[in-house]
Structure 1
Amino acid sequence: MTTANNYASLCIAVTGLNANDNPGPGIAVIRALKAGLGDGIRIIGLSYESMEPGIYMHELVNKTYQIPYPTAGVAALINRIEEVHGKEKLDLIIPNFDAELYNFIKIAPQLQLSGIRTFLPSHAQLSLREKINLADFGKQNGFSIPADHKLFNLDDLNYAADILGFPLVIKGKFYDAYVAHTLDQAQKSFYQLGATWGYPVIAQQFIKGTEINIAALGDGNGNNISIVPMRKLYITEKGKAWAGVTIEDPKLIALANSFAKATKWRGGYELEIMRDANDELFILEINPRFPAWVYLTAAAGQNQPAALAKMAFDEKIEPFTGYQVGKLFIRYSWDHVVDIADFQQISALGEL
C-alpha cells in the first residue's frame, strides 16, 4: 500500500498531452504532480495522436504509449491499459479529456483489481453536467444557466436564433464554442461542430460580462478539498484562457461549494462562469476534469493534482483554507525540437 512516505515511488499515467490553441490539461497536471510528490515519480503518457507535444517532453514524461480512441470502446481500452501495466506497473491513472471519461469510469473497477487506482466521478455525475443537460440541472438545483436549445438540424437553429437572438453561442457536444453574430455564422459553426463532435450541437444564450473559471476538487461526499477561482485576462478565439489571475470572492467559493453539495462530485472539475453587469453568476459549462491551467492551483498553494493522487490512495486530505490571490499565469508556446526518429517510433510502434 502506498503511504504518505513513499508517494515519490509512484508510477502515474496521464492523458491530455496535446498543446494546441485548445491545450489538454496533461502537462499542467504532470507539473503539479512533480511539484507536490517529487521529481522521482515516474510519469507514463497516454496519447491518442503522434503529434501531441507531451510525448516528446522527456524531462516530464518518462515514456508514452498510444491508446485507442474512445470510440473503440471499453474492451480495446482495458486491453491496452493492461498491456501497458504489464510493462510499467501503473499505480494511478489520471484521465484529462471529457470524451474519454465514460470509458475510464467504466473500467475503473477492473483497473482497481489490477492494482491501478483512479479518482473519478460516476457516470450519473458525468451525465448531469453535460451540455445537453446543463439547463435542466440548473433549474433543479437553483443555479443560473444561460438559456439553450439543442440543435439537430437547421430548423432547430432557426428556431433557436428567433428565441435567443444574436449574438448566439454555438457549442460542440464535447468541445469548442463559437460566438455567432449572424445566421450565416451560426450555420457555419453548426455544421463544423456537428461534423467534429456529433449531434446535438447546442445553441446557448450569449451572456455579456466578466469571464471567471473555478478549478476545484471534490471528495465525493459533497465537499470540496480545494477551490481556486481565476479571472481570465487574455482569451483565445476559442474562448480559452491564455492568461489569468487568481482572485478572492466569497460568492465564487460558495458557488463551487453548492455544486459539490448538489452533485457529491468526486475528482477534479472546472466551472466556467460569466458574471454579468448585475453581479449574477451564470454557469456556462462544467468540465468534469482538471482545466489546462490547473498548475496555477499549485502555484497559488492548493496543489489539486497532488491532492487527488493522495486521495486515490485513501489518504484523508483536509480541505485547503487559503490560496495566494494575485497569482498570474501567462501561457506561451515555443518550438520543441526533436528527432524525426522519435516521431516515427511512436507512429509505428505506439510507444516512445
Structure 2
Amino acid sequence: MSAPPKLLTIGVTGLNAHDNPGPGVAVIRSLREFYRDGLRIVGLAYESLEPGIYMGDMVDVAYQVPYPSTGSAALLERLAEINGQEQLDVIIPNFDSELFNFIKISAQMAKMGIKTCLPTHAQLAARDKINLGDFGTRYHFKVPAFYMLNSVHDIDTAAEGLNYPLVIKGKFYEAQIVNNRETAQKAFYDLSAKWGLPVIAQQYISGTEINVAGLGDGKGNAVSVVPMRKLYITDKGKAWAGITIEDNDLIALGRQFAAASQWKGGFELEIMKDANGDLYVLEVNPRFPAWVYLTVAAGQNQPAALVQLALGNEVKPFKNYQAGKMFIRYSWDEVVDIGSFQQFSAFGRMANTNNNKGQA
C-alpha cells in the first residue's frame, strides 16, 4: 500500500479527547504517519471545546457541524458549504451517534466528490446493542444475556433473570457495573438522561477484557484485525493502557464478524475472555476505537487502509502484526489563545497556521 502523490483532503470527526476520548485525533495521527505532507486534514467538530480543533500539528482547519439530532438534511447542507471551501476527498466519521446521518447522505456526498467507507443502515442496526443477541444467535457468536430497560421498573425483572452484579449500558456509550437495586436505578437515570431509551441491562461476565480493532472491505473480508488486551481501565471502562497480543482465536473472531456482517469500514469488538477461554462479544462498535494508532505501531495502519478503500483502490489484507506493542494514554494541556476559541465559537471555522505536517 503506497501513498498517492496527490494532496488528499480528509474530513475527520470525533475530535474530543477527555476521559472518554473520541477516535478522531488517533485517526488523524495514523493518517499523518502514512500520508506525511500529502495530506490536508479538515476537522469536523460539534462543540467549541473539542481539543482536536486547536491541535495545529493535527488539524489544518476546523469547522463546526450540526449535532446528529438535527438530522441528515442539516448535516448535508453544512457539508456542502464546507466542501465548497475545502474540496473534500474523503470523510471519516468516528462517532456511533452520527453514523446514521452520514450513511443516509452518503450518495449525495458521493455526487459532491466526497467518498466514504461506511456500512449500510441494515449492517449498522444488526450489530446494535439492542439487536446483539439476535446477531449472536444467527452467526454463532457468544454474547451475554441482556434485558431492555424502558423504565426503571424493568430493573427488577432484569435482576431476577441476570442476578447481581450486572452491567447497565447506555444506548450509545458508557457502561456501569452495579451490585444492587439502588446503584442500578442511579445508573439507569444517568444513562437514559444522556443517551435516551432503551437502556440495556447485560449479564456480568468475569474474565480478561480484550478489544479487537478491525477493518472490513464490505465484501466479507477483514483487511485488518488487531487484538489488544487492556492493561489499565478507567472508571468508564475505557482502556488507558493496552498491549497487542497474539491470539489466533481472536483474529478468527474478527474475520468471522467481517464475513458474517459483510462489514464495510472500521469496527471494534469488545470481548470478555472467561476462565474457560470462551470469548463473549460484549459490544460491536461501528467505527475505529480511540486506541487505533496502536494498529499503526503494530504494523497495520487501519485508517490509511480505510482511505484507500474509500478511494476505490485495491487493498490486500494485512498478514502480520507485532504482538507486545503497548500504548499508555496521557493527558496534555493544549494552550491556545482565547481569540482562536472565540473565532470558532462565533464563526464555526478556524484555520491553524502553525501546522507541522508529517509530524505525528
TM interval, short-chain normalised = over 0.9
3-state SS in 2 of match to 1:18 = coil
Query: C-alpha separation between the residues in 1 aligned to 2:112 and 2:6?
Result: 21
User: Does residue 285 in structure 1 map to residue 283 in structure 2?
Assistant: yes
Contact 1:47 1:65 in 2 (8 A): yes
Query: C-alpha separation between the residues in 2 aligned to 1:37 and 1:8?
Result: 10
Query: C-alpha separation between the residues in 2 aligned to 1:57 and 1:39?
Result: 17
Residue 112 of structure 2 is matched in structure 1 by: 114
Residue 141 of structure 1 is matched in structure 2 by: 139
Residue 32 of structure 2 is matched in structure 1 by: 34
Contact 1:8 1:37 in 2 (8 A): no
Please report the RMSD computed on the Cα atoms of aligned residues, expressed in angstroms.
Answer: 1.0
Shift of 1:182: 1.2
Query: C-alpha separation between the residues in 2 aligned to 1:200 and 1:172?
Result: 8
Contact 1:7 1:37 in 2 (8 A): no
Residue 74 of structure 2 is matched in structure 1 by: 76
Write the deviation string for residues 64-117 of structure 1: whole angstroms up to 9, x where unpaired: 000000010111000000000000110000000000000000010000011000
TM-score w.r.t. length of structure 2: 0.96
3-state SS in 1 of match to 2:282 = strand
Query: C-alpha separation between the residues in 1 aligned to 2:6 and 2:14?
Result: 22
Residue 266 of structure 2 is matched in structure 1 by: 268
Shift of 1:38: 1.7
Query: C-alpha separation between the residues in 2 aligned to 1:255 and 1:139?
Result: 15
User: Does residue 54 in structure 1 map to residue 73 in structure 2?
Assistant: no
3-state SS in 2 of match to 1:202 = strand
Residue 220 of structure 1 is matched in structure 2 by: 218
Write the deviation string for residues 246-276 of structure 1: whole angstroms up to 9, x where unpaired: 0000000111111111100000000000000
Write the deviation string for residues 205-226 of structure 1: whole angstroms up to 9, x where unpaired: 0000000000000010111000
Residue 259 of structure 1 is matched in structure 2 by: 257
Shift of 1:155: 2.1
Contact 2:3 2:35 in 1 (8 A): no
Query: C-alpha separation between the residues in 1 aligned to 2:297 and 2:41?
Result: 20
3-state SS in 2 of match to 1:85 = helix
Match of 2:86 among 78, 85, 88: 88
Contact 2:295 2:302 in 1 (8 A): yes
Contact 1:16 1:96 in 2 (8 A): yes
Shift of 1:59: 0.9
AA aligned opposite 2:235:
E
3-state SS in 2 of match to 1:133 = helix
Query: C-alpha separation between the residues in 1 aligned to 2:56 and 2:235?
Result: 30
Shift of 1:6: 3.1
Write the deviation string for residues 50-75 of structure 1: whole angstroms up to 9, x where unpaired: 11000000111000000000010111
Contact 1:65 1:351 in 2 (8 A): yes
Query: C-alpha separation between the residues in 2 aligned to 1:305 and 1:10?
Result: 14
AA aligned opposite 2:339:
A
Question: Are residues 139 and 340 of structure 1, via their aligned partners in 2, closer, same or farther at CA, if it must alter by over 3 Å?
Answer: same
User: Does residue 326 in structure 1 map to residue 324 in structure 2?
Assistant: yes
User: Does residue 10 in structure 1 map to residue 17 in structure 2?
Assistant: no
TM-score w.r.t. length of structure 1: 0.98
AA aligned opposite 2:9:
C
3-state SS in 2 of match to 1:346 = helix
3-state SS in 2 of match to 1:154 = coil
Question: In the comparison of the two structures, how many residue pairs are matched?
Answer: 350
AA aligned opposite 1:265:
W
Residue 156 of structure 1 is matched in structure 2 by: 154
AA aligned opposite 2:282:
L
Query: C-alpha separation between the residues in 1 aligned to 2:319 and 2:6?
Result: 25
Query: C-alpha separation between the residues in 2 aligned to 1:209 and 1:5?
Result: 41
Which stretches in structure 1 are left out of the alignment for 5+ residues?
none
AA aligned opposite 1:196:
K
Contact 1:214 1:271 in 2 (8 A): yes
Shift of 1:154: 2.0
Query: C-alpha separation between the residues in 1 aligned to 2:182 and 2:341?
Result: 40
Contact 2:7 2:38 in 1 (8 A): yes
Shift of 1:5: 5.8
Question: Are residues 185 and 45 of structure 1, via their aligned partners in 2, closer, same or farther at CA, if it must alter by over 3 Å?
Answer: same
Write the deviation string for residues 98-144 of structure 1: whole angstroms up to 9, x where unpaired: 00000000010000011000000000000001011101111111100
Query: C-alpha separation between the residues in 2 aligned to 1:290 and 1:8?
Result: 25
Match of 2:122 among 87, 103, 124: 124
Query: C-alpha separation between the residues in 1 aligned to 2:213 and 2:158?
Result: 31
Contact 2:12 2:94 in 1 (8 A): yes
Query: C-alpha separation between the residues in 1 aligned to 2:193 and 2:37?
Result: 41
Question: Are residues 7 and 163 of structure 1, via their aligned partners in 2, closer, same or farther at CA, if it must alter by over 3 Å?
Answer: farther
AA aligned opposite 1:243:
A
Residue 235 of structure 1 is matched in structure 2 by: 233
3-state SS in 1 of match to 2:349 = coil
AA aligned opposite 1:37:
Y
Query: C-alpha separation between the residues in 2 aligned to 1:18 and 1:324?
Result: 28
